[in-house]
């Protein structure tokens, strides 16, 4: 007979085990009231993903066990509803020494099927990713076998995330009698990942001939964003359902069976442009980092340049104007148009705007250092002094008022070290550290043409977008004084850093050898800076975060 599946595409918080349990219980009650017979939660929903070394703490695993029992007891009052919950499962039969020797923790990445107040089945994830931002083999042991359970006469095979990226687990579920597949997921976002997921799941569907439901997490966790966009595929590979991205959604899908054929029907949210999805990812990353960590608001240095302008627009869309404060800190080299444009943008977005001139502090530092610098010309030392004065002022305001400092450096700058330690790198969250400069320009233009969160159209003055970028730390300075054009620089960064292409291959692809060698040298020698940078939202296949683990001391040039 037909029945309804409810996909709980929800935003869980790592470590808030009681809160996550209550969220699941509330979702179960909603699903039951809507007539659903099956509720799917995301991977590790009970504890949040990824809990990292919390999985090594016995008290944490005990809290998860207690919460799972509470969910089972609470949902017993919902007759006819089956709930699938993602959670860690402690393996009590293993000794600590055995786990240490195997290089694993003492638990499974598991999903339990709850019905009528008890746990009917528990499935353990078999494929444990250990690449990119993942290090699941540090915490989990792989599971074995299949899990098939029945809802309204339909036999359902249960998978967890990475398992569905390989043919084996789905095929074994089919051999165990599954007529459809469901998979719980926490798959980190990067540009293009949504389409990639649907295509890989389509391969599983076409291999097995079974429809598939993909329940996905939404929300930000430190540097990682999960975009939701849960979906379902019919047995022919067609999209039967898709939830919107970057927001919570209780998606209801109708499952029908005619003879042996099972079909799924639900709403299908449209795909977004890459600019729209990237903007939503950055906004969600900022909102959850600030909100989940309890900061009352944010502040940033507003320079009149495009990077700080973009960060300001993202922050206002994420938090609202009342939680955002801007500070313009002009130096003797700040152009008048920078003042004018900074004031204009702050007024457009209705945020607090203050000005603190740094000339007095700059002169005081130069005077104090004059005996030490006697006979030496001014150079980047004096440029960096200005950046460090600004960083000190922003951190003082942060300390006094509790607001989080957002840094404004982009990926192109992080790659090449075009940033100042304890200066413009000083802060708590680097919003666009994974956005190259060419995308910064594209996003600025896109945001001026769209108002996705209703905070105001055209927030960025046009001159900020069209004027040549400059750090304004010396007279007549532009970024291209010391860097290749950003179209060239960003392409080299993508090839070398994100795609691991060798230097020689990049040159053979048509880039000037001097540019390739220069950019890759800068990437190599500035690792020590990146190790001291704040975390920021990951939006590409490889960011300068958990998925970039290069040595600081390194002479390899290939």
**pLDDT 10s digits, 290-322:** 999 999 999 999 999 999 999 999 999 999 999
The pLDDT score that the predictor gives to residue 95 is 47
**Owner of token pair 């003797």:** 332
State the pTM of this model: 0.95
> Of 64, 107, 161, 419, which is the active-site residue?
161
The residue whose two tokens read 């005081």 is: 364
- Coil/strand/helix, residue 128: coil
Q: Is 161 a catalytic residue?
A: yes
Q: Compute the distance between CA of residue 399 and CA of residue 216 in angstroms, rounded to an integer.
A: 37
Specify the 3-state DSSP secondary structure of 157: strand
**227 flagged as catalytic:** no
| pLDDT value, residue 259 | 80
CB 514 within 8 A of CB 489: no
Q: Summarize pLDDT for 249-298 with one digit per residue, the tens.
A: 999 999 998 887 999 999 999 999 999 999 999 999 999 999 999 999 99
Residue 98 pLDDT: 47
- Would residue 43 show up in a list of annotated catalytic residues for this protein? yes
Candidate list 23, 125, 249, 323, residue with the active-site label: 125
Ranges of the chain whose pLDDT falls below 50: 95, 97-99, 102-103
One of 43, 136, 162, 223 is an active-site residue; which one?
A: 43
HSE, side-chain direction, 13 A CA sphere, residue 9: 27
pLDDT for the residue numbered 469: 74
The first and second tokens of residue 457, run together, are 């159209």
Of 95, 84, 96, residue with least CA distance to 150:
84
């Amino acid at each position: 007979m037909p029945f309804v599946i409810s996909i709980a595409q929800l935003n869980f918080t790592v470590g808030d085990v009681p809160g996550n349990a209550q969220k699941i219980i509330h979702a179960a009650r909603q699903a039951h009231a809507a007539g659903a017979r099956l509720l799917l939660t995301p991977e590790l929903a009970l504890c949040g993903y990824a809990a990292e070394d919390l999985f090594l703490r016995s008290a944490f695993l005990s809290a998860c066990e207690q919460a799972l029992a509470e969910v089972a007891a609470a949902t017993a009052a919902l007759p006819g509803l089956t709930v699938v919950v993602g959670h860690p499962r402690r393996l009590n039969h293993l000794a600590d020494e055995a786990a240490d020797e195997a290089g694993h923790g003492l638990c499974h990445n598991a999903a339990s099927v709850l019905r009528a107040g008890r746990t009917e089945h528990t499935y353990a994830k078999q494929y444990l990713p250990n690449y990119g931002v993942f290090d699941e083999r540090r915490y989990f042991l792989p599971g074995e076998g299949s899990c098939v359970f029945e809802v309204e006469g339909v036999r359902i095979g249960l998978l967890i995330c990475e398992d569905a990226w390989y043919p084996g687990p789905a095929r074994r579920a089919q051999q165990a009698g599954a007529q459809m597949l469901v998979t719980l997921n926490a798959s980190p976002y990067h540009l293009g990942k949504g389409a990639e997921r649907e295509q890989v799941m389509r391969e599983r569907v076409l291999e097995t001939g079974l429809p598939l439901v993909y329940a996905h997490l939404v929300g930000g966790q430190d540097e990682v964003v999960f975009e939701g966009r849960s979906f379902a595929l019919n047995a022919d590979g067609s999209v039967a359902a898709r939830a919107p991205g970057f927001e919570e959604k209780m998606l209801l899908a109708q499952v029908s069976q005619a003879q042996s054929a099972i079909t799924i029907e639900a709403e299908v949210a449209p795909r977004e442009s890459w600019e729209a999805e990237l903007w939503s990812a950055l906004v969600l990353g900022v909102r959850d980092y600030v909100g989940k960590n309890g900061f009352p608001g944010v502040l940033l240095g507003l320079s009149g340049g495009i990077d700080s302008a973009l960060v300001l627009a993202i922050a206002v869309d994420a938090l609202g104007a009342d939680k955002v404060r801007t500070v313009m800190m002009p130096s003797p080299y700040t152009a008048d148009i920078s003042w004018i444009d900074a004031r204009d943008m702050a007024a457009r977005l209705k945020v607090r705007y203050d000005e603190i001139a740094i000339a007095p502090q700059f002169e005081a530092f130069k005077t104090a250092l004059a005996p030490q610098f006697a006979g030496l010309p001014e150079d980047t030392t004096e440029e960096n002094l200005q950046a460090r004065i600004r960083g000190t002022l922003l951190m003082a305001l942060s300390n006094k008022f509790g607001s989080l400092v957002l840094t404004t450096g982009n990926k192109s700058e992080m790659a090449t070290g075009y940033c100042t330690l304890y200066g413009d790198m000083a802060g708590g969250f680097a919003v666009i550290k994974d956005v190259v400069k060419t995308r910064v320009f594209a996003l600025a233009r896109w945001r001026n043409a769209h108002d996705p969160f209703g905070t105001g159209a055209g927030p960025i003055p046009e001159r900020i977008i069209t004027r040549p970028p400059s750090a304004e730390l010396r007279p007549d300075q532009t970024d291209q004084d010391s860097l290749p054009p950003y179209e060239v620089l960003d392409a080299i960064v993508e090839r070398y850093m994100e795609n691991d292409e060798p230097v020689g291959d990049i040159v053979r692809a048509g880039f000037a050898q001097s540019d390739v060698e220069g950019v890759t040298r800068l990437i190599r020698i500035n690792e020590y800076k990146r190790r001291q940078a704040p975390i920021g939202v990951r939006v590409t296949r490889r960011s300068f975060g958990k998925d970039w683990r290069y040595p600081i001391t390194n002479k390899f040039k290939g």
